[in-house]
Amino acid sequence: MALINWFPGHMAQAKRKLSNALASVDVVVEVLDARMPAASMNPLFDELRKERQRPALKILNKADLADQAVTAHWIEYFMDVNSSASALPIIGKSKHDVRKIIDSCHKLAPHRVDAIKPLRLMVSGVPNVGKSTILNGLLGQSKAKAADEPAITKMITRYEVNDELIIYDSPGVMWPKVDSEETGLLLAVNNAIGVNAYNIEEAAIFLIEQMIRRYPDALVRRYKIKLSDMDAVAFIELVGDKRGMRSKGGYVDFERAAQLVVTDYRQGRFGRVSLQKVGDLV
C-alpha cells in the first residue's frame, strides 16, 4: 500500500506549535479509536509529552462500536505499560462519559485544583477519532467544529472553560511515516487519512480479511452471504453482485462494492468489532 501526500505543510507546522503549547499543559488527553487503539495512537504525541514530562489520559472513544472484551484488554495494557498514563473507554456523544475525563485528569494532576492553579488540558488525536465531539462535550457547547473529514481543526485553540479549567484543542496531527502497512490500512479503513492517500479497494480487501478472521458471523448477518472458503475479493464481488452494483459492461463494480463495505464498517453496521487486539502487538 502506497500512502501519498499524507503529511501536508499545515501538519508539520502544527507539530511545532504542539511542542510549544505543551509547556503550558498539565495533562495530555489523547483520543483514540477503541476499534484500533495502537494504530490511532500518534507516536509524536507521546514523544513530545514525554519531553515535557506530562502525563497522558488515553481515551478509547467509540467504545460502543468496539468489542467490549478487547477494549478491556486495551485498558489494562495502557495502565500497565506506562506509569505516567491512564486510560478510559467512553462514548464521545455521552455527556456522562465525557464528564469522567475531567475526574481522571484531576487524578493525574492532583495539584491543579483551583483558580490559582487551574487544570490545563490538551485534547489531541489523529483525524476522525471523535476528538471534536469530545471537546464540545468538555466545553459544554459546540465551539469546536465537528466534521467527518480528516484534519478539520488546523490551529491550536485555547478555551477558558471556567476559573479552574483551561482546555487546549490541538490539530489532528498525523506522523510522516507509519510503522507498517497494516497500520496504514487500519487508518484508511477508519477514515483517519484523506481519500487521496489510499486505495479504497485495498482498504476494503484488508477490512474483509480482518472481519473473516475475527468476526465472520458479523459478515454473514450483515450481507446474508455464506462465507464457506471465500476470500475477501470474492466476498466483496458477491456483495456488489447482490446489490446490483454493475458497470456498463455488466461486470461487478468492485470499487463501489468496496466503498459500500468500508462505509458499513465505519457506520457500525457490523456490530461491535475491534480490528486490533493487544495480542497483535506481539
Q: What is the CATH number of the domain that holds 58?
A: 3.40.50.300
What does the pLDDT look like over 213-270, one tens digit per residue? 999 999 999 999 999 889 999 999 999 999 999 988 889 999 999 999 999 999 999 9
Do 91 and 152 reside in the same domain of the chain? yes
Q: Which of 24-38, 77-91, 207-221, 266-280 has the lowest mean pLDDT?
A: 77-91
Q: What is the DSSP code (8-state) at residue 280?
A: G
Do 143 and 250 reside in the same domain of the chain? no
| Pairing state between β 165-169 and 157-162 | antiparallel
**Average of per-residue pLDDT values in the chain:** 86
CA distance 27 to 106: 9
Res 6: pLDDT: 47
Q: Which of 147, 169, 191 is the last residue of a domain?
A: 169
Whether residue 181 is contained in a domain is answered as no
Do 107 and 206 reside in the same domain of the chain? no
Comparing CA positions, the residue from 87, 15, 79, 77 lying closest to residue 51 is 15
Do 162 and 211 reside in the same domain of the chain? no
Whether residue 191 is contained in a domain is answered as no
Do 22 and 104 reside in the same domain of the chain? yes
- Under DSSP, is residue 109 helix (H, G, I), strand (E, B) or coil? coil
Percent of the chain scored above 90 by pLDDT? 57
What does the pLDDT look like over 34-75, one tens digit per residue? 999 999 988 878 888 888 888 999 999 999 999 999 999 999
Comparing 8 with 251, the larger pLDDT belongs to: 251
pTM for the full predicted model? 0.87
- Under DSSP, is residue 122 helix (H, G, I), strand (E, B) or coil? strand
Whether residue 152 is contained in a domain is answered as yes
**In total, how many domains does the chain have?**
2
Do 25 and 162 reside in the same domain of the chain? yes
CA distance 88 to 99: 11
Whether residue 189 is contained in a domain is answered as no
* Burial classification of residue 9, based on how many CB atoms lie within 10 Å of its CB (0-12 exposed, 13-18 middle, 19 or more buried): exposed
Comparing 250 with 177, the larger pLDDT belongs to: 250
Do 111 and 69 reside in the same domain of the chain? yes
* Domain extent at residue 244: 199-281
Q: Residue 26 in contact with residue 112, Cβ under 8 Å?
A: yes
- Under DSSP, is residue 167 helix (H, G, I), strand (E, B) or coil? strand
Do 35 and 141 reside in the same domain of the chain? yes
